[in-house]
Amino acid sequence: MDPVHPLETLRGTGDHDSIDVISWVSVCPRGLYSVQQKKTYSASQHTVRNSGVVTSCSSGCRPKLGSLCQVRVQINSNMDETESLVSSENEKPSVTEVAEAVETAFPRCQHSVLQVPLGDWTTLRLGVGQCDITEACLERMRAGEKCVVFLSPVVDETDQPAEEDLPLCATVELQAFTPGKDSWEMSPDEKWEWVRSHKQRGGERFRNMDLFGALDSYSRALKLLIPLHCHVRELEKKEQEVDEEQRDDCYKTQHLPTANEFRTIKAELHSNLSLCQLKLNQPERAKANAAKAAELEPGGTKAWYRLGQACQMVNELEEAKQAFRKLLELQPDSPVAIKALRDITSRQKASNAQLGLRLSKMFS
């Protein structure tokens, strides 16, 4: 599965402040949800900063990657926007509280769509992917704004959503946030730290069977890893020009992976994406990511195995045989490769027999 990010805009003029409704698809542990966001309240057009916290701001100032956002999410009792949801001042956290806030720790839940404590003020770090829906809203909001979102599950024509999956209406309110950075504003070592944290988080989510969440984390890591390539290449050139001691000092100063480490990590991310996609029955996407992983790390056995599995699922049996034969070259006694090749041979024989039978009937 490709990185899942907002697919905008379904209706609007192109000017953020003039857009009536913005629509996209978000990822949740339960699957994909169609989201429609409608802004209902705007902050005043000025900027106030106190202890590094943005409390209200102009149209150009919104949360960025790493911003700590003081946010509240509430389920609306009906599908209509209501003024009763506007908070009174004494309900809102003070600027001092926001300045001293730390990221709220709570696990992702398989049975939750919004993934945040409802009705309470929560501190989210933008870019972590705790709740894809809430974060996507915050990226377009200013301090003091709130918006209404309408959520409905993305299902196949043959699927019928459960009663609890019926369209939901919620209000997202942003009180204040700390400054963050766009990815292009980050230093290479800052990007690298985000890559590592996303990769680790993806592994944790996979072990908890949060497959869509793992996909999201691995995709975020890859998105930030790609622009690091030029920096790693520059270090690689310097590596060839200096002695071993200077080379080690260079990598320690930059906090970046070597060229080989970069290639290995990128291959692991593609391979991990492929595994998630296999489990989510997305063989075409799994095949593409496994092929990329095998290209980056030809000695990676997991990539060849997953490539073979994906090719089997899309009935590309010759390609599957090539992948499993490559796996056998790397692991001569691999029982899964031996079994897979036997199964493919059996499938091909059965297919050839059926074809021969149909041809004989045509010309008899």
SS3 readout for the chain = CCCCCCCCCCECCCCHHHCCEEEEEEEECCEEEEEEEEEEECCCCCCEEECCEEEECCCCCCCCECCEEEEEEEECCCCCCCHHHCCCHHHCCCHHHHHCCCCCCCCCCCCCCCCCCCCCEEEEECCCCCCHHHHHHHCCCCCCCEEEEEEEECCCCCCCCCHHHCCEEEEEEEEEECCCECHHHCCHHHHHHHHHHHHHHHHHHHHCCCHHHHHHHHHHHHHHHHHHHHHHHHHHHHHHHCCHHHHHHHHHHHCCCCHHHHHHHHHHHHHHHHHHHHHCCCHHHHHHHHHHHHHHCCCCHHHHHHHHHHHHHCCCHHHHHHHHHHHHHHCCCCHHHHHHHHHHHHHHHHHHHHHHHHHHHHHC
Instruction: Output the pLDDT for position 5.
Output: 41
The segments of the chain whose pLDDT lies below 70 read 1-19, 40-52, 54-60, 78-101, 156-166, 238-254, 355-364
Instruction: Output the pLDDT for position 101.
Output: 67
Instruction: Output the pLDDT for position 100.
Output: 62
Please, what is the end-to-end C-alpha distance for the chain in angstroms?
Answer: 47
Q: What is the pLDDT of residues 142-171, one digit of tens each?
A: 999 999 999 988 875 445 444 455 678 999
- Residue found under tokens 């993305």: 154
Largest CA distance in the chain: 88
Instruction: Output the pLDDT for position 283.
Output: 97
Query: Can you give the pTM of this predicted structure?
Result: 0.81
- CATH 3.40.980.10 is right for the domain spanning 16-80+94-180: no
Q: What is the pLDDT of residues 83-131, one digit of tens each?
A: 444 455 556 665 555 556 678 878 888 778 888 889 999 999 999 988 8
Instruction: Output the pLDDT for position 224.
Output: 93
**Whole-number Å distance between alpha carbons of 233 and 64:** 28
Instruction: Output the pLDDT for position 165.
Output: 55
Domain boundaries, the chain: 16-80+94-180
Nearest to 198 by CA among 180, 179, 181, 222: 222
**Whole-number Å distance between alpha carbons of 82 and 66:** 31
251 Cβ partners below 8 Å, 6+ apart?
235, 258
Instruction: Output the pLDDT for position 247.
Output: 54
